[in-house]
A = this chain, B = another copy of it.
Amino acid sequence: MKLYDAEWAPSPRRVRVYLAEKGITVPMVRLNLRKGEHLGNEYLAVNDRATVPALVLDDGSVLEESAAICRYFEALHPDPPLFGTSPEEIGRIESRIRQVEAEGYAAVVYCFRNSAPGFEDRAESGNWPPLPQIPQLAERGRIMWDSFLQRLDANLQDREWIAGDRFSYADITAMVAVDFGISVRLPAPEERENVLRWHKAVSARPSAQA
């Protein structure tokens, strides 16, 4: 088994934080995205979509997408459960994961990929024909980011963790989205006190360093 990883990027970090929470160790190959190693022939032979992370299983098959890699490990190592156990909890966690992706991730990725130097013709992550940056989409991302933080704050008003009274993959997803936003200079949640309280709690877990 071998996990293709990359520093700084949010999707690989989601997997590292998940593995740290579960106490799972996996051999890793760290790609240098700034040098474009994910777009080189060696990695394209592993994953022709050029997305990172990717997990190569012992039979040679490849799992892409951070949520899919984490669900694979969750099925292998159910404890501690990070995707829920009861039907209601399973549904609620998935609902929150996808809400954070559709609002927070979408916002920061719109903003970052459509404004950062070095992505001029690669405005979507993955392996595509040239896709030019769209400045108005970066602007849309900034509007969405503010709504995301506002809704996240309301969601955290009467619960300790994103999906209820237990830390879950929804918290990992949201922490990584918030930290990625801050790292690309979107506004930090300074006036959102529920987000601040929650963010302090998730960031204090040892897994946040992964």
Contacts and interface: CB of A to CB of B under 8 A. Distances in A.
A94 B75 contact: no
A99 B88 CA distance: 26
A61 B92 CA distance: 9
Q: Is chain A's interface secondary structure helix, strand, loop, or mixed overall?
A: helix
A49 B64 CA distance: 29
A76 B86 CA distance: 9
* Interface range for A: 35 or more
A108 to B, nearest CB: 14
B49 A71 contact: no
Question: What 7 A-B pairs have minimum CB-CB distances, sorted nearest first?
Answer: A72-B91, A68-B95, A75-B87, A68-B94, A65-B98, A63-B91, A76-B87
20 contacts: A61-B88, A61-B92, A63-B91, A64-B98, A65-B94, A65-B98, A65-B99, A68-B94, A68-B98, A69-B95, A71-B90, A71-B91, A72-B88, A75-B86, A75-B91, A103-B126, A124-B140, A128-B143, A129-B143, A137-B137
